[in-house]
Structure 1
Amino acid sequence: MLLTLNIFPLLQAQSAKLKAQIAEWDRNLALRYGNRYHQIKQQLEGAKTWYTQTKSAAQNSGTIPLEQKQTEAHDRFAEAGAVAARKEAVIKQQLKDLWHSIRNR
């Protein structure tokens, strides 16, 4: 004989209890911290919105933002390395010219 329990009503009751507890905490924090608490809540909502938008944009584009940033950083470092190498070559040539001019005096 199988004993089946319908846990859905239990989960609903627990969910309602947790929602009431969260609402009470929200009220208590608002009373205790006032405007600062509301500002932090707004910042948190903004962060959630940004995260959702970034996540959906990444899923739609097929790229991962971290990989994209790493690629951009790699490209910038590669360009900086190329610029440094060109400047190094110019400085070496100037030193060679200076050395030859001193030596040929």
Structure 2
Amino acid sequence: MADAAKAGNGAAVVRPLGPAKVTLQFVAVGNAPLMKRTKFTVSGQDQLSVVYKFLRKQLRLKDNESLFVYCNSSFAPSPDQRLSSLFEVPFVELPR
């Protein structure tokens, strides 16, 4: 870190990968409770675990109640996944 400070103009600027902010839209399935607002904009550098905590609070779920989160209705990402990396996952539609 000190070497980068000494380098001055020669030091490269490191930018985070992916978008700075991402918009999430939540869709209730089955008998899940509905939310008043379904779209939220959050930091792309946050982990999915932040979204889990937010949803638990919004839906007033207890710790022993199940919460399932799917990306594009197809897969369940791990809680340590960054939102910006999920945002960049291509969605491929299969032919019918």
TM-score by length of 1: 0.25
Higher RCO (C-alpha 8 Å, min separation 6): 2
TM-score by length of 2: 0.27
**Structure with the higher strand share, 1 or 2:** 2
